[in-house]
């Protein structure tokens, strides 16, 4: 129920939705003063949420950007969270804009910083087909000569809470000892880290896929950018998700 509700309501939390809703209401209502106020509010929201400087500074304060130094012995497993590949035609997959998760996980294994890779991700669509992200990713890892014995597949999870729950069971089943490296996008790491810690999985954050710029005010940082609107979508989702996770009772 929680998963279905979150999928249905997700579009209503995004800034562009708020702006468009205000514009539609402004076009419909007849009160001239209220119309002007709604237009002004929508304009202010557009300026705020399309400003690269404001976004970069918020993202830098939110991101967990510390990457742990290599240790003398390798980690038993690097857990890479799904969401970096999508379903294409004919039940096949393709890498999307978060594919740095795959690259970093593969790099950690190839440089002998981890002995196993656990891919956690099933199909998060509201109406899932047969496509399973982790199964497809396993094939991509094998193309880079990662042996079957070093790949652990978790193909049931639909969200981060399930990532943690199902990964914990597989780690125990395969007798892989903690701590584990947790690889996910920087914008997602804060929420993911809290969820894994609540699930009693001892993880060390290894963020990637950073979206921030310099964070310093400049001409480029002051020009409105439509791409920034889509970046805010991901961060607002994370802020709300983290808040909900604090409110929900631990199971």
- What's the pLDDT tens digit per position in 218-247? 666 678 899 999 999 999 999 998 988 877
Question: What number of CA atoms fall less than 13 Å from residue 139's CA on the CB side?
Answer: 10
pLDDT at 125: 73
Lowest mean pLDDT among 70-74, 106-110, 181-185: 70-74
In this prediction, residues 71-97 reach a mean pLDDT of 90
By C-alpha distance, which of 73, 170, 74, 86 is closest to 120?
170
Residue 67 has phi, psi (to 5 degrees) of -105, 125
pLDDT at 74: 96
Report whether pLDDT(8) > 60. Answer: no
The answer to whether 133 touches 123, Cβ cutoff 8 Å, is: yes
Relative to beta strand 93-95, strand 203-208 is: unpaired
Residues of the chain with CATH 3.40.50.620: 78-208
153, two tokens: 């597949």
Please indicate whether residue 190 or residue 122 has the higher confidence score (pLDDT).
Answer: 190
The answer to whether 192 touches 184, Cβ cutoff 8 Å, is: yes
CB atoms inside a 10 Å sphere around CB 89: 6
In this prediction, residues 166-179 reach a mean pLDDT of 97
User: DSSP string of 156-223?
Assistant: --SSHHHHHHHHHHHHHHTTPPSPEEEEEEHHHHHHHHHHHHHTT--EEEEEE-------S--HHHHS
Domain 78-208 has CATH 3.40.50.720: no
pLDDT tens, residue by residue, 91-130? 789 999 999 999 999 999 999 999 999 999 988 776 667 8
In this prediction, residues 16-29 reach a mean pLDDT of 94
pLDDT at 249: 61
């Amino acid at each position: 129920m929680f998963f279905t509700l979150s999928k249905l309501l997700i579009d209503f939390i995004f800034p562009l939705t708020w702006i468009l809703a205000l514009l539609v209401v402004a076009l419909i209502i007849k009160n001239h003063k209220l119309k002007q106020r709604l237009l002004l509010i929508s304009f202010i929201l557009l300026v705020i949420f399309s400003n690269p400087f404001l976004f970069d500074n918020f993202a830098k304060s939110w991101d967990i950007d510390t990457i742990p130094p290599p240790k003398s012995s390798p980690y038993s497993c690097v857990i890479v969270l799904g969401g970096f590949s999508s379903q294409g035609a004919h039940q096949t997959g393709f890498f999307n804009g978060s594919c740095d998760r795959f690259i970093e996980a593969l790099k950690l294994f190839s440089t002998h910083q981890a002995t196993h890779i656990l891919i956690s991700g099933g199909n998060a669509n509201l109406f899932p087909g047969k496509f399973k992200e982790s199964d497809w990713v396993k094939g991509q890892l094998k193309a880079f000569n990662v042996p079957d014995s070093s790949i652990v597949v978790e193909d049931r999870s639909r969200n981060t809470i399930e990532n943690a729950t199902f990964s914990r069971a597989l780690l125990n089943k395969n007798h892989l000892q903690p701590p584990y490296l947790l690889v996910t996008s920087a914008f997602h790491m804060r929420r993911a880290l809290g969820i894994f810690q609540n699930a009693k999985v001892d993880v060390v954050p290894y963020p990637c896929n950073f979206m921030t710029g310099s964070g310093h005010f400049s001409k480029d940082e002051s020009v409105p950018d439509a791409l920034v609107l889509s970046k805010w979508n991901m961060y607002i989702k994370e802020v709300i998700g983290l808040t909900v996770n604090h409110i929900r009772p631990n199971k």
